[in-house]
Structure 1
Amino acid sequence: MSDKLQIRNMTRAELDSLVGWAAKEGWNPGLHDAELFWATDPDAYIAAELDGELVGGGAITSYGGDFGFMGFFIIRPEFRGHGLGDELWRKRREGLLARLKPGAGIGMDGVFDMQPYYAKGGFVFSHRDLRFEADIAAGFTAPPGGEQLVPLSEVAFADLEAYDRQCFPASRSAFLEGWIAQPDAQALGCLRGGKLAGYAVVRRCGQGCKVGPLFADDAKAAEALYQKLAEFAAGGPLFLDVPENNGAAMAMARRHGMAEVFGCARMYLGSKPAVAEDKVFGVTTFELG
């Protein structure tokens, strides 16, 4: 069956299909994820076609050739168990390596059960990224936190890029430009002495809202940002993907009574990136890193 599989670049319309499949799988994508993801790297989306029918796909996002991320890996349920996913995954890994500069690393968030499979492909476990959920009461108002929070549109983009680069393995200007300005979302910065001490984005999804990223100098800044974003999400569930290797982030999730509902293993092919892990209170997305 896999001999008939064609691996090729996706069309923009096919990415909409992939996002729809993700919703059915319970991944709860954001309302505008497809257009934002496509704008970040249109060459990242790889289709698996069988006898003229789209049966699977995934992303191989390159950030300027300096870092890559594999995500959005889906095979339609009725086509699983025939080796198609294995072929698609291997071709995606090879394709992403070809898009990167020599020595550049690749990251991924894979479901726990697939860790041994990804390890055979050269990926090494780093830590767990755990999805937490909180039910935010209607009418919730963030308590005074003593931090200066401003819309990210009021922060110099160069300052945002510089802060983001501390927490993410490569520059991602195109992604950030769209991400912080997307509809049905709120993007905030935390200022101390006129300097950025953290930033976060919350976006509406098929179910409730997701925070991502949530980057902050310390727990106090992260708390202020989280509380204000929770106000945006009032009346529904709020999700936050927390890296387990940040103890302060885990403590914040527990302090707010958030329930663990899902998780992935963060793994890397090549050297583990040097980022400020203590500032990452919430990852951006499981699909693009």
Structure 2
Amino acid sequence: MASILDSVDQRTKLVGENRLELLTFRLRGSQLFAINVFKVQEVQQMPKLNMLPQSNPVVVGVTSVRGLTIPVIDLSSAIGRTPIEQNEAANIIVTEYNRSVQAFLVGGVDRIVNLNWDEIMPPPAASGRSHFLTAITRIEGKIVEIIDVEKVLSQVVSFNTEISEEVKDEDLLAHARGMEVLLVDDSNIAIEQARSTLQQLGLNVLVETDGLKALTLLRKWRDEGIDVNKKLLMVITDAEMPEMDGYRLTTEIRSDPALKDLHVVLHTSLSGAFNNAMAEKVGCNGFLSKFQPDTLAKTIQDRIRERIG
């Protein structure tokens, strides 16, 4: 498993093919859960933890991984279930999100599976844990629940959405009021965060929750005779989404003569050395880590300058 997790080439082969790899695991009991392998650095058997005074209740301690001290979050407790027993059967999954490294305490780690994004479905509205799920899938007839890690982390870390005053170019933004941006993301918490930042810039934010819905909307405008390149300032898309991921969405946009000049920025919690290579492979105009309001604002303003200049 470690060799697969460490292989950049293995991961980048999936880019633009609407495929993903999931690491499946259990918390307590037989239910399978999963997160995207892109986010995983390594898996370890339960290490010795040091307590962290006055920490969030779901943070069970800290440990050292490759010389870095990182918090360990009980994932079962974080999604409202019974805490994980800290014994030899437990494991930690070391992950990197938004340039931050943390570990999730889980039960048994199952395996890595390779799937098409069109096999990934939104969670049913009646699911008791849908608050913390971003999607579900089936593997060998068994339902696998895919955790919305961004939602989990929002409980532990306060994400700031406010743009620093020194970043805003008020004269520039005065010319940009009402410009439209298409935001594509399947995580409610990520949509809320990005929308808050974009609205501070005076932009109208249109939202779709997966790449296929976004592509369908773009093609609908195209077929209605709308010049989509003039209508939209830019498309800001997540990477991981049910039905169609952000890489495939960008690939489809670039292959359509009427859409190919759209400014597309990948906005994702994925971190690591392979990000820029993945974005460039499918023709994205840029890459941004999520929950960085000043960086997002600077990118938007640079694009506005291009538009009005």
Higher strand share: 1
TM-score w.r.t. the length of structure 1 is 0.27
TM-score w.r.t. the length of structure 2 is 0.26
